[in-house]
Chains A and B, each alone.
Chain A
Amino acid sequence: MSRPAVNSDTDFEVSKPLMGTAGWLDDRFGGARGVRTYLLRKVYPDHWSFLLGEIALYSFIILLLTGTFLSFFFVPSMTEVTYHGSYVKLDGIRMSEAYQSTLRISFDVRGGLLIRQIHHWAADLFVASLMVHMLRVFFTGAFRKPREVNWLIGITLFALALIEGLFGYSLPDDQLSGAGLRIFEGTLQGIPIVGTYLAYFLFGGPFPGHDIVPRMYIIHVLLIPGILLALIGAHIFIMFWQKHTQMPAKGNTERNVTGQPSYPYFVAKTSAWFIFIFGALALLSTFASINPVWLYGPYTPVAISSASQPDFYMGILEGALRIMPAWEWNFLGHTVTFSVLIPFALPLGIILGGAAFWPFFERWATGDKAYHHINDRPRNAPVRTGVGIGAVVFYGVLWIEGANDVVADKLQIPLYTVTWIARVAVIVAPIIAYFITKRVCLALQRKDRNELLHGYESGIIRQLPNGEFIEVHQPVNEERLAVLEAKKVTALLPGPGAEDDNGVPAPSARGMLGKARAVANRAFAEAIPVEADGHGNGHHGNGHAVTGEEHEAVGTPGSTALPPGERTEE
C-alpha cells in the first residue's frame, strides 16, 4: 500500500473556509498551535486492530443518540395499568407503565421499534467491541508501561458497561428481564451481613416493589453514562498524550510513532468508519429482531419459560450460577450461600481482577521496568498469551454453560451431563489451553528463528548434480526482518533459592514471594533464542547471559524507549 508521504506542516493544506474560521477562533482563544500539533497532526498507526476501540467509541455515540430518542417516549414507572394499545394480543392485560410505554415505542411511535433495536444491537456491539479491543491490547502487551492507567480505565469502562447493559435491558419490565432482575435481587440477598439491606435499599423494600424501574432508569440514563463519558474522555486524552503504540514493522522504533496524520487522512477514514458502523447497525436492526418484549409479556413472579437467557455479556454470570453445586453454610444463626456468592464474585473477579492485576504481575515477574511503545507479537510472549487464552477458555466454558439447557436440547445430551462436563472443563480446560498455547507460541518462535537464520521456503525445488532435490531458501526481505527481529527476550532473574559464591541467597529470590517470583520469571523467560549468526541480529541476547533486576528488555541498540510525549511522530 502506498502511504502518502506527509512529513512537514507545509505538505498539507487546509481549505480556505476552515482556515478562516480557525483563524477567527485563534485570534480570540489562541491554541491553534496545540490544535495543529495534537489534533490535526497526531499520527495514527495504520493497523486494522486499532479500529476495534473505535467500534466501541462509535457504538457508544450511537447508544447516546438512540437512547435520547427512546427517553422521549419511555415511562419509567411501575404503576399498574390495563393495556388497550394497538398490539391486540395483550389487550386487557395488566402491566406496568414501563412495559406499556415499551409496547408503545415498538408499535405506535414512528421509527420507534427500529431505534429500540438499534439501541439494543449497539449495546451488544459496544460490549463485544470492548471485549475484542481489550483482548487486542492484552495479547499485544499494549498495557505495559507507560499505559497501565489507561488499561485500568478500560477495565472500569468494561465493568460499567456490563451494569449499564443489565439495567438497560431490565427497564421494559417484561417477563424475561423481570426474571433476570429477580436473580439479581436474589444474588444481592446472598451477600453476607449487608445483603438483605442492600437489596431492600436498591428495590425500596421487598422484591419487586415499585421503585426499581425508576431507580434503574436514572442510573441507566444519567449516572453510568456520565461516568462512562468522563472515563472515555480520560481514556482518549491519555491515549493522545502518551501517543499510540505501534506494531513491530520496518521503521517503527521505541522512539517514534509512524502512521498517518489525523487531518486529513485519519479524519476521513474514521468518519467513514462511524458511518459504516451506524449503517451496519441500522441494517442489522432492520432485519434481525432483538428482545421482542411483546412476545414475553409483562413480568409476573410466578411465570417463566425454559431457555431463558440474558444478553450475551451476562452469560458468564448465568453460567456460573448454573454450574455451582449446592454449597451453603449455616452457623451461629446465619446463612452463607456459596452457591450464589461464588458465581457472583469469582468469575468476573478472576477475569476483570486478573486483567487489572496482570500488568503489575508481569512487571514483577519479568523485572521489566522499561517503556514499551512497540507491541509484542503474541507468540513472543508465550506466558501472557497462554494465560490470556486460558482466561478466554474459562470465560467461554461459563458462557456456554449459561445456555446449558439449550445445549442439552440441541445436542441431545442430558442436561446434568452438560453441567458436569462444564464443571470439569471450567477447571481443566483453561490449564490445558495454557500449555497448548504456550507450546504453539514457542513452535511459532522456532519457525521465526528458522526463517531468520535460513530464510523462507521459496517453493523452488532444485536438483543437485548428485541427484538430490533441495528446496531453495531465500533470505527474508527487510519488512519481514523488522517484524522477526522485534522479539524481545525476558531477562532471567536469579533462580529459586539461587545463592552467590558466599552462599547468600539473591535478594530478589528470598522468601516465599521471592521464590514465587523466580519461578514465574523462569516461565516468562522461556523463549527460543536466536543466536548471533551474521544476519545482523547479534543484539539479541539469548536471555541466559543476562541477569539482574534492573536489566531492561533487550531492544534495538542505542534506542532505549523514550517516555511518552518525547517520541517523534513520523
Chain B
Amino acid sequence: MIIDADGHTQIPQEVFDNYLDKEFYRNRPRFVTFDDGRGFYLIEGRLITKPFGWGPGTPGSMITIVPDGYEDDPDALTKAAVILIKFRPGELHIPTRRQGSTLVGTMNWTVDNIVAYSKICTHVGCPVALYEQTTHHILCPCHQSTFEATTGATVIFGPAARPLPQLPLTVDSSGFLVSKSDFTEPVGPSFWERG
C-alpha cells in the first residue's frame, strides 16, 4: 500500500510518471509486472508486495509475496504464497541441492542476498509465518516445524520432513527481481505420488 503525505491511500500511476521532478523521476514508485504475471510496487528500488507489507530492502526482514491479482484467490494462494528474506552479506549458505536429477536449491537462485521460499509448510500445509531475525529460523506456528533460512530452509526441528521449496530468483534486463521459473518441486505437504 502506498500512502502519500496528504493521506491518499493510492495515487494513480500517472501522477508519478508525469508530475515528479526530474531528480526524483528515476526513483518514482512504479507498479511492475513480472513475465509470469505477478506484480509488485517498486519504490526507491524496493519491491513492495501488495497488500501484505513492506519490501525486502532491509536486511533481516521477511515479507510475504503473493501473485498480483490473486490476493483473494485461496486456491492460488495455497500454492503460490512465497516468503522473501534479505540477508546481510555472508549470511547465506545455500548449498547446491539435487533431488535425483532435479536441482532443488542453489546459491545461483539468490540475488543480492535475497532468497525466496514457499510459504506453505512441507508438513501439513500451514503458512510458515514466523521468522526470527537473529537466528534466521522460519517457524510454522501450527506444529513448530523450524527451518534454517540461511541454508536453504533445511529442517532443524519439528515434524516437517523436507526443506521449504526454493523459488529461483534472478534479475531481468530492466533490473527487476523476477523468478527464473516456477518451483522445481511440489510445494506443500507430502503425498503418496510425490516420489
Contacts and interface: CB of A to CB of B under 8 A. Distances in A.
Interface stretch (A238-246, A297-305, A468-476, A512-520): A297-305
Contact of A405 (B129, B141, B193, B195): B141
Of B125, B126, B195, most buried by chain A (CB within 10 Å of CB) is B125
A190 interface: yes
Contacts of A336: 192
Contact of B194 (A185, A335, A343, A404): A335
Contact of A183 (B74, B124, B145, B157): B124
B86 interface: no
Interface in B171-195: 188-195
A309 B96 CA distance: 37
B77 A207 contact: no
A328 to B, nearest CB: 4
A142 interface: no
Contacts of A185: 124-125
B12 to A, nearest CB: 20
A308 B142 contact: yes
Given A302-B119, A322-B144, A183 B190 contact: no
Contacts of B119: 302
B126 A183 contact: yes
Contacts of A299: 74
A189 B122 CA distance: 12
B141 A308 contact: yes
A265 interface: no
Interface string A304-328: 1111100000000010011011111
A34 B64 CA distance: 70
A302 B51 CA distance: 12
Interface string A385-420: 000000000000000000011000000000110010
B77 A302 contact: yes
A334 B193 CA distance: 5
B127 A340 contact: no
B59 interface: no
Contacts, number: 138
B191 A190 contact: yes
B80 to A, nearest CB: 9
A149 to B, nearest CB: 36
B72 A302 contact: no
Contacts of A333: 195
Contacts of B161: 326-328, 337, 339
B142 to A, nearest CB: 6
Given A209-B75, A301-B78, A302-B77, A186 B129 contact: no
A206 interface: yes
B123 interface: yes
B38 interface: no
B164 interface: no
B78 to A, nearest CB: 4
Given A192-B192, A340-B123, A80 B72 contact: yes
B158 interface: yes
A302 B126 contact: no
Contacts of B192: 189, 191-196, 334-336
B20 interface: no
B81 interface: yes
B169 interface: no
A187 interface: yes
Interface in A207-225: 207-209
Contact of A325 (B127, B141, B159): B159
B143 A321 contact: yes
A436 B145 CA distance: 35
B62 interface: no
Contacts of A281: none
Interface in B66-118: 66, 72, 74-75, 77-79, 81
Judged by DSSP, the binding face of B is loop
B160 interface: yes
Contacts of B75: 206-209
A174 to B, nearest CB: 13
A303 B123 contact: no
Contacts of B72: 80, 94
Contacts of B158: 322, 326, 419
A182 interface: yes
A340 B52 CA distance: 30
Interface residues of A, number: 52
B155 interface: yes
A340 B78 contact: no
A273 B124 CA distance: 43
Most buried by B among A182, A404, A415: A182
B120 interface: yes
Given A326-B159, A328-B190, A334-B192, A304 B127 contact: yes
Contact of A306 (B74, B78, B141, B194): B141
Contact of A335 (B127, B143, B157, B190): B190
Nearest to B141: A306
Interface string A170-187: 000000000100110111
B122 to A, nearest CB: 9
Nearest to A342: B159
Nearest to A210: B75
A307 B130 CA distance: 12
Contact of B191 (A195, A304, A308, A343): A195
B126 A304 contact: yes
A94 B72 CA distance: 7
Nearest to A179: B126
A90 B154 CA distance: 37
B125 to A, nearest CB: 4
Given A179-B126, A182-B124, A326-B155, A189 B189 contact: yes
A325 B194 CA distance: 20
A58 B113 CA distance: 62
Contacts of A303: 127, 129
A186 B155 contact: no
B104 to A, nearest CB: 13
Nearest to A336: B192
State the 8 A-B residue pairs at the shortest beta-carbon distance, nearest first.
Answer: A186-B124, A328-B161, A186-B189, A337-B190, A339-B159, A186-B125, A324-B159, A326-B161
Given A186-B123, A321-B143, A416-B144, 11 more contacts: A80-B72, A208-B78, A301-B120, A303-B127, A321-B123, A321-B142, A326-B155, A326-B158, A335-B191, A337-B161, A415-B144
23 contacts: A182-B125, A183-B125, A185-B124, A186-B123, A189-B190, A190-B190, A191-B192, A193-B192, A206-B75, A206-B79, A207-B75, A208-B75, A299-B74, A301-B125, A304-B126, A304-B127, A322-B158, A326-B158, A327-B161, A335-B191, A339-B160, A340-B190, A343-B159
Interface of A: 80, 94, 179, 182-183, 185-187, 189-196, 206-209, 299-308, 318, 321-322, 324-328, 330, 333-337, 339-340, 343, 404-405, 415-416, 419
